[in-house]
């Protein structure tokens, strides 16, 4: 297992990195403000499932294979960029849609169905936002080894570092969701909701452009 000294150095370093705003931050904020706390929690769980998958890929050597192949890395990079574009355009399109009421006894049933669909969409958006980000692959393969003891088996150490990162990510994003839930009533007004969707949509598109045109 990893030495305590290395582990105690890893924790504050990964906390700083976790707090830095990025696509995961943007998608969590938008999801919570637009769809509520439940959707925000599902979104952050999707994000951290992505972290777990990236860690597992590193342990199995898949991440090293991606890093070693320019073609595979570019495929992942462009897939991530296109997905961020798609999320951003979807948010902007949503800002132009008008809500319509569902009359009669079907209203509750329609609301329940919409809630389930929103929850699944939130989880999926968080998962793929993280999973298709090649920077996470680079981060795991370049940052984690700095805290690994080469005399000990690498797999358990990578697993512990990945688990720690995921737990810290869940804690931070949960705090973020709760904070966004507090100010959410402000964004219930249609004018604010349109502004939020257009702003976060533009931010996601810019993240996609940055990812697409960034040199490897």
Whole-number Å distance between alpha carbons of 28 and 36: 10
Q: What is the pLDDT of residue 195?
A: 85
Mean pLDDT of the chain: 86
pLDDT in tens, 155-180: 899 999 999 999 999 999 999 999 99
Neighbours of 127 (CB within 10 A): 19
Q: What is the spatial distance between Cα 165 and Cα 197, in angstroms, rounded to a whole number?
A: 29
CA 100 – CA 71 distance, rounded (Å):
46
Residue with tokens 């637009």, as numbered in its chain: 34
Taking the domains of the chain in order of start, what are their residue ranges?
Answer: 4-96+105-213
Q: What region does 2 belong to: left with phi over 0, alpha with psi -120 to 50, or beta?
A: beta
The pLDDT, as a whole number, for residue 104 is 45
Asked whether residue 126 carries a pLDDT value surpassing 90, the answer given is: yes
Question: Is the per-residue pLDDT at 154 higher than 70?
Answer: yes
Backbone angles phi, psi at 20, to 5 degrees: -70, 130
**Residues 161 and 13 sit within 8 Å (Cβ to Cβ):** no
pLDDT at 94 > cutoff 90: no
C-alpha 120/C-alpha 211 separation (Å) is 25
% of the chain residues with pLDDT over 70: 90
At residue 24, does pLDDT exceed 70?
A: yes
Q: What is the pLDDT of residues 61-88, one digit of tens each?
A: 888 888 888 888 889 889 999 999 998 9
| Res 66: pLDDT | 83
């Amino acid at each position: 297992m990893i030495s305590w000294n290395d582990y105690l150095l890893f924790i504050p370093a990964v906390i700083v990195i976790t707090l830095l705003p990025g696509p995961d931050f943007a998608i969590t904020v938008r999801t919570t403000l637009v769809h509520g706390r439940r959707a925000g929690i599902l979104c952050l769980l999707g994000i951290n499932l992505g972290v777990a998958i990236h860690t597992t890929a590193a342990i199995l050597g898949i991440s090293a294979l991606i890093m070693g192949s320019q073609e595979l890395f570019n495929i992942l990079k462009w897939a991530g960029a296109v997905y961020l574009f798609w999320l951003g355009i979807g948010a902007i399109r949503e800002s132009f849609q008008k809500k319509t009421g569902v009359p009669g006894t079907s209203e509750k049933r329609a609301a329940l169905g919409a809630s389930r669909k929103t929850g699944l969409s939130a989880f999926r958006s968080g998962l793929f936002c993280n999973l298709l980000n090649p920077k996470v692959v680079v981060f795991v393969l370049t940052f984690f080894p700095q805290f690994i003891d080469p005399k000990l088996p690498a797999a358990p150490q990578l697993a512990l570092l990945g688990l720690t990162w995921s737990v810290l990510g869940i804690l931070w994003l949960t705090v973020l969701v709760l904070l966004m839930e507090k100010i959410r009533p402000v964004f219930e007004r249609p004018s604010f909701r349109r502004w939020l969707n257009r702003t976060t949509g533009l931010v996601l598109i810019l993240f996609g452009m940055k990812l697409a045109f960034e040199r490897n």
